Amino acid sequence: MEKAQRKKEARIQRQLAQEKKRRNMRIMVWSLSGLFVLLIAALIVFWPKPAPLSFEYDKSPLLGNADAKVKIMEFGDFKCPTCAYFSQNIMSKIKTEYIDTGKASLSFQNWTIIGPDSTTAALAGLAIYHQNNDAFWKFYDALYTNQPPESESWATVDYLVDTAKKQNLGIDYDLLRKDIENKTYADELAAQNNFAVAHNFTGTPSVLVNGKKLDDNTALNYDNLKAAIDKALKEADK
198 found inside a domain: yes
The verdict on 29 and 86 lying in the same domain is: no
Q: Do 17 and 102 lie in a common domain?
A: no
Poorest-pLDDT segment among 7-21, 140-154, 164-178: 7-21
**Burial class (CB within 10 angstroms; exposed 0-12, middle 13-18, buried 19+) of 184:** middle
Average pLDDT, the chain: 89
Distances 197 to 10, 52, 115, 125, 184 between C-alpha atoms, Å: 69, 16, 16, 20, 22
- Whether 84 and 131 map to the same domain: the answer is yes
16-25, 47-56, 81-90, 92-101: least confidently modelled range = 16-25
Closest CA to 139 of 157, 161, 115, 109: 161
pLDDT at position 45 is 44
Rounded Cα distance between 123 and 53, Å, is 24
Same domain, residue pair 81 and 26: no
| 97 assigned to some structural domain | yes
At 106, phi and psi to the nearest 5? Answer: -125, 130
Please check whether residues 101 and 138 belong to one and the same domain: yes
User: Does the pLDDT value for residue 112 go beyond 70?
Assistant: yes
Distances (CA, A) of 13 to 6, 27, 122, 195: 10, 21, 80, 69
- Domain check: are 106 and 217 in the same one? yes
What is the count of structural domains for the chain? 2
* Cβ neighbourhood burial of 203 (10 Å; 0-12, 13-18, 19+): middle
Q: 161-215 pLDDT, tens per residue? A: 999 999 999 999 999 999 999 999 999 999 999 999 999 999 999 999 999 999 9
User: pTM for the whole thing?
Assistant: 0.79
**What's the rounded mean pLDDT across residues 126-146?**
98
Asked whether residue 150 is assigned to any structural domain, the reply reads: yes
Is pLDDT above 60 for 39? no
The whole-number pLDDT of residue 43 equals 43
Beta-bridge partners for 104:
70
Q: Examine the domain organization and report whether 132 and 233 are in the same domain.
A: yes
Average pLDDT over residues 91-111: 96
Mean pLDDT, residues 123-144 taken together:
98
Q: Is 204 in the same domain as 232?
A: yes
Residue 135 CA to its chain's centroid (Å): 25
**Which runs of consecutive H residues, i.e. helices, occur in the chain?**
2-46, 81-85, 92-94, 116-131, 133-145, 157-166, 173-182, 186-198, 216-219, 222-237
Chain centroid, CA 202 distance in Å: 7
52 assigned to some structural domain: no
Q: Which domain holds residue 97?
A: 57-237
Residues 101 and 146 in one domain: yes
Query: Which pLDDT score, from 0 to 100, does residue 156 have?
Result: 98
Asked whether residue 143 is domain-assigned, the answer is yes
Contact 47, 82 (CB under 8 A): no
Q: In the predicted model, is pLDDT for residue 36 greater than 70? A: no
> What would the mean pLDDT of 26-43 be, rounded to a whole number?
57
79 and 197 both lie in a single domain: yes
Instruction: Determine, yes or no, domain membership for 43.
Output: yes
Q: What is the pLDDT at residue 51?
A: 85
Helix (H, G, I), strand (E, B) or coil at 146: coil
Give yes or no for a contact between 80 and 205, defined as CB atoms under 8 angstroms apart: yes
User: How many C-beta atoms lie closer than 10 Å to residue 125's C-beta?
Assistant: 25
The Cβ of residue 119 has, within 10 Å, a number of other Cβ atoms equal to 21
Query: Confidence band (pLDDT; 50, 70, 90) for 58?
Result: confident
Q: Check whether residue 9 and residue 63 sit in a common domain.
A: no
Residue 109 belongs to domain with CATH number: 3.40.30.10
| Residue 31 counted as domain residue | yes
* Three-state DSSP state, 154: coil
- In the chain, the N- to C-terminal Cα span, in Å, equals 86
- Residue 190 forms part of a structural domain: yes
* 135 and 223 within one domain: yes
State which of 10, 29, 47 marks the end of a domain.
47
> What's the rounded Cα separation, in Å, for the pair 203 and 76?
9
| Distance (Å, whole) CA 199 – CA 209 | 15
